[in-house]
Amino acid sequence: MSATSSTRVVSDIGDPSADRASPSQSSRAQSAEKDGVIGGILLWSSIGFLTAAGACGISPELAKLWAIWTTDPLRSIGMMILPTAILLILRVWWKNGWELRGTWWGLLLVFLAFVPTVFSERMVFFLSIRGAKVNFLPYVLPVYLYASGIVLLFAGVRVWKRAWFPLALLLLLQPIPQVVVHFLDLPMQGLSARIARSFAVFLGLSPTNGELLRLMFTPNFGMFIAPGCDGMRGALTMAYGALIAGYLKRVSIPRWIMYVVGAFLIGHVFNLLRLCALVLYYKVAMGHPVLEHSAKQADFTIGGLLFLVAAFAFLWIVSGKAQHVDVAARTSPSGESATHGRLAYLRLAALAILVIAAFIPGVRAVAGNSESLVSDLHHGKLAVQDLNDRIPPQVGDYRLVRTWQEQIAGTPSLEAAAFAAARPDEIEIGIWLPPDDHSIQYSLMTQGESPKIKAIREFTIGGGKSVSFNTALYDDGVTDTLTGDTYCSPSACQASIVNEEGIHLAFANVMDHNTRGKRIVPIFFKLQVPRTGASDEAAYSQLSSECQDFLSHLDFQQLSQRFQ
């Protein structure tokens, strides 16, 4: 190398201005960085806004879930599953560096999620076994499809795969399928009641003692030990907590199953301890008015303390160093990131088109749900007496003799009435108020009643119209009972198929089912007479004829109009 070149190198190194950018270059760099920050804020704000607005497209499902969570204490845990799933999805995305490697396939899933709302229909596909319904297309499916579509559309396949668990949690937003209630909850109710009674006998309280019966079957004492006190709510809370804990700790599948099953059993065991403690409290409190009047608070205190003990015991068992492996965020060249950013804006535009298409029918669905009869009752806009006034005072030769309501969480869910004519037998009718399915067949089945005969039978109702009813004959050895279900809107009636055995595939009208003025109202009739001793077929025919005389004067479509 020549001396001249060597001197030039040394001179370049020693010159402080060599590494300093010119003022124009520095200004352009700062401007580009500022534009990048503003663009990032705009992009993520747009993603968040459109994602929230798009939830209107799955509003029928969200409205139904909200009604379940706020009226059914057994399923209220679902209210916590939704935010938990969303936070876990964001956690996975964060661990992947908020990467924007979306795929256009996500748009297809969002479209499928919006189909029931946009077209007002969804496919119904379920299997009915001994009165229990197994739904192969649960109504929470659109929620799962929508969340999966958003993740795929913007985050990409890698994040979607790694977020499999929180996405799957969205399928559990209705945390207790009806089949679980049918085959697990009801047997556990009976077992819990028998254990509580046995412990009461052990303490010297005779099963024939009136005070014991008052404890077991009435809330007058301040606490209520009944078959429903089976601890299912606490056990499910523990089980879902274990399910999420196992995911966060990344335990093996066998240990994960042990966590969930163990937590579920611990919840039930501690509930049995609670029942026994309440029976013991009852024995101590007898004859002491102060303790008797504090029994309800004692129930809450004992139950709360035992639940905390069970929760801490479970946490102690599963505690330990989490088998957690951090996911390193994948870095991309700046040019590739810019390309993904531009594509993200295109996907935002496509998503906006779908959101706009689903917005109006989604708003209609929300409005229909917020203006429901149950909502009016819950918010005090409608009095119970107004419900009674909607029952016709006379149906042919039958006059109204009494009305009553059944409630869920303090809100009337069923309006019932009894009619009588010259004969001593009364015929009852019932109108289901919430915007969902109901069947008296299933209600009786949960009480241990098994039908002798089940059949779809047509009756002539008021106005000369012929309507199909899902009927069933019951014989408990003392009485013969005939019941019939139908679903009516102001325009038509159709038989309930909830309890038919086998596989059912059909399209259900989502909007009309929930929209006030068009809502499909479940209505049933019930006739109970002293057991005649006749054959099942003869009893079914005799009771059907007696019901026909009553039904021929009652317009079910007009009745459904009154209970919109």
pLDDT at 12 over 60: no
Q: What is the DSSP string of 51-101?
A: HHHHGGGGHHHHHHHHHHHHH-GGGTTHHHHHHHHHHHHHHHHHHTTT---
What type of residue sits at position 163? A
- Residue positions counted in the chain: 564
Whether 390 and 532 map to the same domain: the answer is yes
Whether 337 and 304 map to the same domain: the answer is no
Helices assigned H by DSSP within 406-486? 440-446
Structural domain includes residue 28? no
How much is the average pLDDT of 348-362? Answer: 90
Whether 412 and 557 map to the same domain: the answer is yes
Q: Which two tokens stand for residue 554?
A: 């009652």
Structural domain includes residue 22? no
Whether 337 and 393 map to the same domain: the answer is no
Q: Which two tokens stand for residue 68?
A: 């379940």
Residue 415: the pLDDT is 94
Whether 293 and 355 map to the same domain: the answer is no
Whether 314 and 335 map to the same domain: the answer is no
Structural domain includes residue 462? yes
Structural domain includes residue 442? yes
Q: What are the distances in angstroms from CA 121 to CA 60, 142, 218, 443?
A: 11, 12, 44, 27
Cβ–Cβ < 8 Å for 403, 416: yes
pLDDT at 497 over 80: no
Where is pLDDT greater, at 417 or 373? 417
Confidence band of 181 (pLDDT split at 50, 70, 90): low
- What is the per-residue pLDDT across 79-92, written as a single tens digit (0 to 9) for each? 999 999 999 999 99
Is the whole model's pTM more than 0.75, yes or no?
no
β-strand 453-460 against 521-530: which pairing, if any?
unpaired
Whether 55 and 97 map to the same domain: the answer is yes
Tell me what the pLDDT averaged over the chain comes to: 79
For the chain, the C-alpha Rg in angstroms (whole number) is: 31
Whether 541 and 400 map to the same domain: the answer is yes
Confidence band of 504 (pLDDT split at 50, 70, 90): low
Structural domain includes residue 24? no
Q: Which domain holds residue 280?
A: 178-318
Whether 477 and 513 map to the same domain: the answer is yes
Structural domain includes residue 14? no
Helices assigned H by DSSP within 407-535? 440-446, 510-514
Whether 533 and 469 map to the same domain: the answer is yes
Structural domain includes residue 17? no
How much is the average pLDDT of 346-374? Answer: 81
Whether 234 and 348 map to the same domain: the answer is no
Structural domain includes residue 121? no
Burial degree of 247 (CB within 10 A; 0-12, 13-18, 19+): middle
Domain count across the chain: 3
447 secondary structure, DSSP code: T
- What is the per-residue pLDDT across 318-331, written as a single tens digit (0 to 9) for each? 665 444 444 444 44
Confidence band of 420 (pLDDT split at 50, 70, 90): very high
**Cα–Cα dist 518/540, whole Å:** 33
Confidence band of 167 (pLDDT split at 50, 70, 90): very high
- What is the per-residue pLDDT across 110-145, written as a single tens digit (0 to 9) for each? 999 998 888 877 777 777 665 566 778 888 999 999
Where is pLDDT greater, at 346 or 1? 346
Residue 89: the pLDDT is 96
